[in-house]
Amino acid sequence: MAKELKSLKKRQQSRKQASGKKSKTVAFMTMFLLITMSVAAVVFYVYEKKYAPSREIADKAEYFGVSGDDVALFLNDEQAFQESGEPVTGKMINGGIFIPYEWVMSNLNRGYYWAKDTNKILYTLPTEVKSYGLGDTLDDGSTAFLRVGDSTDDLFLNIKFVSEYTDIRYSTHLEDDTKRVFMFDNWDDYSVATVSRRESVRLLGGIKSEILTNLKAGDKVKILESMENWSKVQTEDGYIGFMRNNRMSKETVVTPESSFDAPEYTHITRSDGSKVVLGFHQVTSTAANEYMESITSGVSGMNVIAPTWFVLDSDEGGFKHYWTQDYVDKAHAKGYQVWATVNNFDAGNIDESVFLKSTELRQALVSNLVAVAAAGGIDGLNIDFELIPESLGRDYVQFMRELSVACRNAGIILSADCYVPYDYNSYYDIEQLGKYIDYVLIMCYDEHYGGGDEGSVASIGYVNRGISEATKAVDKDRVLIAVPFYTRVWITNTAGETSSDAMGISDVMKWAASKGVEFTWDSELGQNFGQIQDGDLVKKVWMEDYQSMQLKVDAVKEADVGGIGAWKLGQEPSDMWPILDLNGR
């Protein structure tokens, strides 16, 4: 019995020892598993943070800056923003898209005109002016425009109305709360790629960037910019973001095609193809017409005479005129076309805003001018509206559009006198004028004017600027460059006060000779400069002469523009005309 008890104790002790070993193994395995899981969790966390693509969705309302019925606008793959940094927004109303009038005017088409006096939008075609009132509809029954306030900032044009007169294509994305429209007036080729497998388009290049939209295999994207590993793309569902290059294949080139039927604005130019050589004839009374033959007796090569016949003398657009049939007949007999000039200054100050902002008064002035011109066999009208304020820029241009329709329909040549283009007078908008009228004449004189600082009336740099800026905006064969037949003698007294006397070239040549003025050629200005002490006065002159005139005419010939003009007849030596003869007769 004692022996059996001893054996049982040994077996129990053995089991305890085995059980202890097993417990230690389980504990070890548990600890190992916990450590492994912890390491795996750390590795997964590090991978997720550093390597795994983000699945976070971008705040699209913040990205586009719109919500509700506001519509984000994109032009040529760039979102439109105000100077303040806020997005330019249109409106979705009754399923239609309406975009801001001012944005359209600045970025797409300046041809629209808000006639506030009649609550109408006008658009001028070659032979008629189309008119759309509040509530008027387009061919598809949609409203042409909306007005939500009193200023032009409160006008919105139906995008269909814009596309009717503007060569654009567009797509709309209106399914969610971030509505947007993509417009294009760029018709260059672009590349399209096919998405090869599922991919996210992100705000920025990088897998950690937020997601704008998800694509599937077979979707198409327009490639905007290619980089080493990523590309900036535009998606078919209306997003611009970044995706990986290795998710794209089958890149192809697309050539967009326009179905826009552009109106043809024809222009009346000289039927024989000759360059215009124009002389302004200042006429301030009917009796002055009698001097036409004598004032042109020494002239050669001129083919257009522009008498200052029409003078606005009322705020309502009334005018007086000095036209006579006898003058027209004699001018035609000498081989001249007659372009009657209409100015807004010879009768004193008038308030042009009264007639320019009135649809009825503009139409009356247009009708009256064309009626007189047509009845008298006048070949053309030359509009010389000077010192128009910037606030009336659009109204002036609309007047010229409406006059262009009447002149085109009557077969009358229409030209306008404009300043050498600078930013401060850009509202004269010679690009728009050149679209509608026949000739744009650039007055390359009064670079320095009476009451201003002393200097040249027309340096060669000033003339060259007039040529280069005008021909950027208007077909060169319809640009006329006007040069001065006068200069100024600048007078400085002992108090340092400066004034000037305007003198014709003939008279200033005689004055300089009588005073013994010695001249030095200034190659930068392209003029001879002279200065004398005349008693207590210092007198300076930047001379217009044969040398300076030849330099100007050479620039006109080199640019191959439509012609030349000169202000004014009677101030020039008669032997200067061969220099101005662009047609070599």
Amino acid at 166: T
- Strand intervals (E) in 140-178: 145-147, 155-158, 169-173
Separation between Cα atoms, residue 483 and residue 380, nearest integer Å: 20
pLDDT score, position 10: 54
Strand partners, 477: none
Average pLDDT over residues 323-328: 97
- Of 3.20.20.80, 1.10.150.120, 3.90.280.10, 1.10.3720.10, which CATH number belongs to 276-484+545-580? 3.20.20.80
The reported pTM is 0.90
- In the predicted model, is pLDDT for residue 181 greater than 80? yes
Domain ranges of the chain: 60-184, 190-254, 276-484+545-580
Average pLDDT over residues 528-539: 98
pLDDT score, position 52: 81
Rg (CA), the chain: 38
pLDDT score, position 355: 98
Q: Which two tokens stand for residue 187?
A: 């018709």
Separation between Cα atoms, residue 121 and residue 113, nearest integer Å: 6
Instruction: Work out the mean pLDDT of the chain and round it to a whole number.
Output: 93
pLDDT grade for 85, boundaries at 50, 70 and 90? very high
Contact predicate 285/322, CB 8 Å: yes
- In the predicted model, is pLDDT for residue 515 greater than 50? yes
pLDDT grade for 8, boundaries at 50, 70 and 90? very low
- In the predicted model, is pLDDT for residue 467 greater than 70? yes
CB atoms closer than 10 angstroms to residue 513: 9
pLDDT score, position 43: 43
Q: What is the spatial order of strands in the sheet that 519-522 belongs to?
A: 498-504, 486-492, 537-543, 527-534, 519-522
Contact predicate 248/193, CB 8 Å: yes
Strand partners, 413: 380
- Strand intervals (E) in 399-536: 413-419, 439-443, 479-484, 486-492, 498-504, 519-522, 527-534
**Is the C-alpha dihedral spanning 326, 328, 329, 334 positive or negative?**
positive
CATH number 2.40.37.10 is the correct assignment for the domain at 190-254:
no
Candidates 582, 510, 11; CA nearest to 302 is 582
